[in-house]
Amino acid sequence: MELTDYKAIRESGKELAGDIFNYAVDSNKQELISAAKMLGSWDGKMFVFDADNDSDTLMDLIVFETTLWSGNKN
């Protein structure tokens, strides 16, 4: 794989992650806040990310670990 290929794939991935995060915020604000509280990324008014990948961790939790933050056992 060439560096230009990697950069194009990485940019597409960042755009997709941004779109998913925006959808989660717009459509599921309370669920997103609950997950952020679980991770310690909510200060009561806003999301607080200490590291560059903290928002990625939050998104992964929202998408892949719904039963952890939602209380839904199904």
Span 21-71, pLDDT tens digits: 788 678 778 888 888 999 999 999 999 999 988 988 988 888 888 777 665
**Contact of 41 with 33, CB cutoff 8 Å:** no
* Angle at the Cα of 56 from the Cα atoms of 35 and 26, rounded to 5 degrees: 60
Three-class secondary structure of residue 55 per DSSP: helix
Residue span of the structural domain in which 55 resides: 3-70
Domain count of the fold of the chain: 1
Q: What is the pTM of this model?
A: 0.59
Q: How far is residue 7's CA from residue 61's CA, in Å, rounded to a whole number?
A: 25
| Closest by CA position to 33, among listed 18, 19, 20, 48 | 48
Q: What number is the average pLDDT over the span 1-9?
A: 92
Q: How far is residue 65's CA from residue 27's CA, in Å, rounded to a whole number?
A: 17
